[in-house]
Structure 1
Amino acid sequence: MAADAKPSSEKRTLTHSRGRSKPGRREREALRAAQSSPRGALLQSRVLPGRAPKWQRDRLVRLNQLIANHARHKRASDARAVFAQIVSECLEPSARTFGSLVNMAVRIGDLAQSQEWFDECCRRGIDPGVVTYTSLIKGFCEAGLMRKATRTLEHMTRAGTPPNLRTLNTVLRGCRRHGNVAVATTLLRRARTWKINPDVTTYDYVVATLCQGLRVSCVRRLLTRLGPKCGHGTAHLWTYVAEACLLSGDRLSARRALIRSEAQALGGCGAPDGRDLPVSTAEFEAFKKLELDRRASLLRSHLKQHSSRSARSQVMSLCRLFVLPVTGSEQLSARIFVRGLAASFGLRPLLRRLHRRSSRVLRAAVSARFGAIVDVSGTLDLRRACRGGAKLPLKLELCSGDGEWICAQAKADAGHAQWACVEWRRDRVFKTYFRSFLTGVSNLCMVSGDAARVLTHIAPGSVDATFVNFPEPPVWIHSKKSLQSDDEVYHLLTERTLQLIHRSLKHHGTLLIHSDNGAYMQRLADQLSAMEGFSPSSPGDTFRIESSSRVPVWQGSPGVECQVADPEASSYFDRLWKNGRFVKRFFLYVHRDDKRCDVLSSDCQIIPK
């Protein structure tokens, strides 16, 4: 470069520091478009902000970075304060400003606020961009509002902002979590019109969703067409196929799919393009591979030791699955549960295997079975969900994850207790159901829905023991500042939820909360101490942490004294934290004490005995 030549970046700096010159050709075209086209305001917003003085643009960049940082740490009030500062300094917010604000609201679960930020962005004539659209879609998907997510996707394409691979995978991840089989199939077809090349993650979400719905033939065609495109990345996909084939009664195809999975797994691990993965990612991928090997081993063992089941018995076993709708005020009924099984858990493919008349008879039997468990008021008597369980104690786990822990407990408690689990994500409910199928657990029923909502439908005083393992704190940061934040962040164990747990428990029924987060457990201990209706129970010979709370925090793992039938049972998250060196465990153990029910919320309908 010549000595007197200036770098291009310096030339741009000098150009923008000259104050307000006349608009250039491109800016004049944008202004004309704003007058003649409905989308002109969006085109104008892409050009005019560049005319602001450099110091204003630099200031906006700095404030946008602050908002993004507050969003990462879920500090909503701080992010709002920075936005107010942008407005007070007469700066023009950008698409990145609103993108960070939408992301912040999504991260704390405030979808109403995220929609307000998005609407404000559009009102100002700013093109939200693909990042902001994707953040809003992510919020709807995490809340299970898949209709709103797909509508936002349609609005995005009509506005001239084509979705990218991340947007597609975000919606497909929501489809997998909430069992939207039909939507997943449609999105994969539309990816070609959006000129998106699906990756391994895309096929993972689609195949897992289709296998959950037992759409085995569709998955086979997809994987055959995919061929060696993703290499060893498809090994676990054939494991999904083997599971779906087994549940469909096709044991031969299940064996073949498992053999194919093992053959492709020999390809090793790494990035799809052959690059080495980062250390942390490689460790997590290795852990996931071990978990898949555990599932495949369990599948092989079942294929060797058990014979095939009839289609009727397989359909009737689905009656242990209760699928609550995500939204709507419709009263719970047998028809709703049948509809949930048909939409997400393969009831239709199973019935198609039968003669048409037999299919109608069996569908009526499923509806009658559900009708015996839910009454006209929508109250669930989960003790009747399994044969012989009406006279047994009922034990309930909230947020059961993949179900490994509760399946072990139910198996150890066979003939002594009836177990039930509640899980928000339908893909995890499916994994729990499949594990119970492989391990022969018949005294376990599964409820898919939000725990707080499910508790309002459980018969009062019907539960003998409730378990909550590794609840997520209000903010996923292990610091006192985060736990004491004034921002309202959604989490499970609110005071309202604890009151509903109390309502569902019998007199002297117990509540056990188990976690690796000592600070969060101390906060919950203080919360339970301040509430009426709970008293501490003794867990036996366990180390007690010094605390001023009426409810003590115990260090260690709960045993049989806490009604844990199999103390040695582990879970996916338990092994994950041990793998990451989080080895300390803490728990709370309390029971319902009706003598302390003087000051309880009347809407919980708790009546002291």
Structure 2
Amino acid sequence: MFVNLVSREGLVPSPYTYASLLNAYVNTGTMDGAEALMERMRDVGCAPNVVAYTTMLKGYMLVANVDAAWRTLNGIMHNRMSPDSRAVNTYIRVCVRCGNLQMARRAFDRMRDWDVVPDATTHKLIGRLLAQGLKRDELKALIKRTVKGEHLRWTKDPSSGPCQFWRAGKCERGVNCRFYHDDSIVQSDARVREIESNDTLASMYVNHAHASAISGDVKQSKKSLRKAAEYLTENVTAEALTVGGLKDKDERAELFRQTNRDELKLEMRRIEDFVERLMSGKQQPPKLDEHLSRSLIFSSRLFQEVPERGAKMSSEEVDALRDNLYAALKDTMGLNDDSDGSVKRAIRKVIAKDGTIRFDRMFGRSKKEKRELNVEVAAGNGDWAVAQAKTDASADWISLELRHDRVYSIFSRAVCSGASNFAAMGGDAAYIMRRYVASESVSHVFVNFPEPPHHSGDAAADNSLALLNEEFFRDIHACLRRAYTSTDAPGGLTIFSDNHRYMQALARTLAELDIFTARDDVDLASGAPANQYETIRGVRLYQGVPGPSAGHRVYEQSYFDRFWENGQHVDRYFISLVRK
């Protein structure tokens, strides 16, 4: 369409035209095309603006390339522009996704040089990273500065001149306005500003409470939880939003904000319960080193060159892998002092000589001990898998997630639950399942609420970010245990979603592969037989919530489940198959 408009219609593309095309490249993970388009813009004299650079930063976030993101952020300065708060926050999101506190700190410390004021989003993101790294003192100091408003500059300085928009009742630039905001002038969006400020401080205090709890400082955790409760806004009614200035705002955006408030409350209850169990002696204080020894943090980078299945790793490559996994725990998970070397030794034992994962060593099992090993892919915050592990202690459970902030949430749930049969893994599932998971080592793979590859409704739409494709299903098949005798249970695959159309597409893909077969006697979470289904080329697509025969030991809502239920998406569908 772009080529036709230019070559046939003779139209001259504007920066907005380029921005739309750039966004299409970025949203599909086609960063080489996005980079080429940026060069083309320069060549034809349509210099990329801050919006274009921010779009590129979003792309590097999606593929988790923090080095390229840093070069892009600096590229704004090199082109005689200044990054705005949206660009800086997008870059810090890249760091959050990769768990890179050091690179996030670098940008945060330079914001004053760039004349950018940290806003609510900046503080939430940095607070999250500091908590993940167990930098409690640094996070506490940041909270104090935020409460005092030390980050504010021009808006609190009368000498910078009055803001005319503020005087009229509403300034869209917020903390990054260059003019004075007189607090005596009531704003039309005052309620919205108060909500955002309170939500930010509540989020930071909850992060501090969490870091304190898993560090064993229960008194400080309770203190931070009390402060979070003071700031956490109650459910915001539609009437309050109308009065508060959100009348014309996107309802979906407010649904997202309200869901996040609900998630904060759930997190507070989870931490409170954990602290109470510790104080009452019902649960022993967490041994972080043991949990860290079971946590494998691979690279979050997408589109790494994937080797052939079964390709051998050299001894040098295996040693480098072990070193990188250990370094990741120190750099991103708060491992500060491994003085006796126990964590390092444990990580070395978990990785076999061929580079595959020794799951028996991960959970401290003997090789002869026959236990189920279940893996949840794209696990979100890990609520579902933790619930399964607590319900069924006879099996081992792993949650595998790409985004590092979610990996840390999974890790924290493992620590707080005290479950010794549960572990967190981070990284690109397409690479990990192919490279590091040995053939026939997994009992069941679960995918809950997978993200559709496109939103257009066009099944032929291309998106290289899509995980559930033919190659990935073949890798799952290779990882699943084989049934050698009539008493053996073959490895299984269960996919659970609210998206009917996407599930139909996945059923067609699985049918064409012809490497899985139907599972007998599928039931629902209610215990009833699953008798409502449609058959798509031989694959059954069930309606409802899967039960124990499909591997779901207990029904547990995930974050995505709660989010879509809040949006009145209540229909559920699942596919349950076994290895042929």
Answer yes or no: same fold by TM over 0.5. Answer: yes
1:518 to 485, 500, 512: 500
Q: SS of the residue aligned with 1:421?
A: strand
2:557 equivalent in structure 1: 570
1:264 to 206, 210, 231: 231
Q: In structure 2, what is the Cα distance between the partners aligned to 1:152 and 1:107?
A: 17
Q: Which amino acid aligns with 2:351?
A: V
Q: SS of the residue aligned with 2:445?
A: strand
Give the aligned CA root-mean-square deviation in angstroms: 2.3
Offset of 1:215 from its aligned partner?
Answer: 1.1
1:325 equivalent in structure 2: 299
The higher relative CO (CA closer than 8 Å, separation ≥ 6) is in 2
Offset of 1:223 from its aligned partner?
Answer: 0.9
Q: Which amino acid aligns with 1:373?
A: V
Offset of 1:530 from its aligned partner?
Answer: 1.4
In the alignment, does 2:254 pair up with 1:289? Answer: no
1:34 equivalent in structure 2: none
2:80 equivalent in structure 1: 160
CA offset digits 1:128-159 (Å, max 9, x no partner):
01011110111011211000000111122111
1:427-506 → structure 2 map (5 Å cutoff) = 427-456=405-434, 457-477=436-456, 479=457, 482=458, 484-506=459-481
Q: In structure 1, what is the Cα distance between the partners aligned to 2:11 and 2:143?
A: 52
Offset of 1:312 from its aligned partner?
Answer: 9.3
1:411 equivalent in structure 2: 390
In the alignment, does 2:537 pair up with 1:555? Answer: no
1:239 equivalent in structure 2: 206
Q: In structure 1, what is the Cα distance between the partners aligned to 2:575 and 2:252?
A: 32
1:529 equivalent in structure 2: 511
CA offset digits 1:419-476 (Å, max 9, x no partner):
1111000100111111122222221111100111110110110001111111111213
Q: Which runs of 5+ in 1 are unaligned?
A: 1-80, 352-358, 594-609
CA offset digits 1:43-101 (Å, max 9, x no partner):
xxxxxxxxxxxxxxxxxxxxxxxxxxxxxxxxxxxxxx223431344443332222221
Q: SS of the residue aligned with 1:258?
A: helix
1:47 equivalent in structure 2: none
Offset of 1:286 from its aligned partner?
Answer: 2.6
Q: Which amino acid aligns with 1:291?
A: E
Q: In structure 2, what is the Cα distance between the partners aligned to 1:311 and 1:537?
A: 42
Q: In structure 2, what is the Cα distance between the partners aligned to 1:126 and 1:487?
A: 27
- The answer to whether the 8 A contact 1:413-1:565 is kept is yes
Normalized per residue, which structure has more helix? 1
Larger radius of gyration: 1
Q: Which amino acid aligns with 1:503?
A: A
1:187-226 → structure 2 map (5 Å cutoff) = 187-226=107-146
Q: SS of the residue aligned with 2:262?
A: helix
Q: SS of the residue aligned with 2:287?
A: helix
Q: Which amino acid aligns with 1:573?
A: F
- The answer to whether the 8 A contact 2:124-2:204 is kept is yes
2:526 equivalent in structure 1: none
Q: SS of the residue aligned with 1:463?
A: coil
- The answer to whether the 8 A contact 1:184-1:206 is kept is yes
Of 578-587 and 307-316, the range deviating more from structure 2: 307-316
Q: In structure 1, what is the Cα distance between the partners aligned to 2:235 and 2:503?
A: 41
1:371 equivalent in structure 2: 348
Which TM-score applies when normalising by structure 1? 0.77
2:376 to 366, 380, 397: 397
Q: In structure 2, what is the Cα distance between the partners aligned to 1:462 and 1:571?
A: 26
2:572 equivalent in structure 1: 585
1:572–1:310 CA distance, 2 compared to 1 (3 A): closer
Q: Which amino acid aligns with 2:277?
A: Q
1:521–1:158 CA distance, 2 compared to 1 (3 A): same
- The answer to whether the 8 A contact 1:389-1:418 is kept is no
1:267–1:591 CA distance, 2 compared to 1 (3 A): closer
CA offset digits 1:469-527 (Å, max 9, x no partner):
111112135x3xx2x22434431110000000001000111110111112221221121
2:324 to 336, 340, 344: 336
Q: In structure 2, what is the Cα distance between the partners aligned to 1:206 and 1:451?
A: 26
Q: In structure 1, what is the Cα distance between the partners aligned to 2:265 and 2:360?
A: 34
- The answer to whether the 8 A contact 1:404-1:571 is kept is yes
Which TM-score applies when normalising by structure 2? 0.81
Q: Which runs of 5+ in 2 are unaligned?
A: 150-195, 306-316, 483-489, 524-528
Q: Percent identity?
A: 28
1:263–1:100 CA distance, 2 compared to 1 (3 A): same
- The answer to whether the 8 A contact 1:241-1:254 is kept is yes
Q: SS of the residue aligned with 2:491?
A: strand
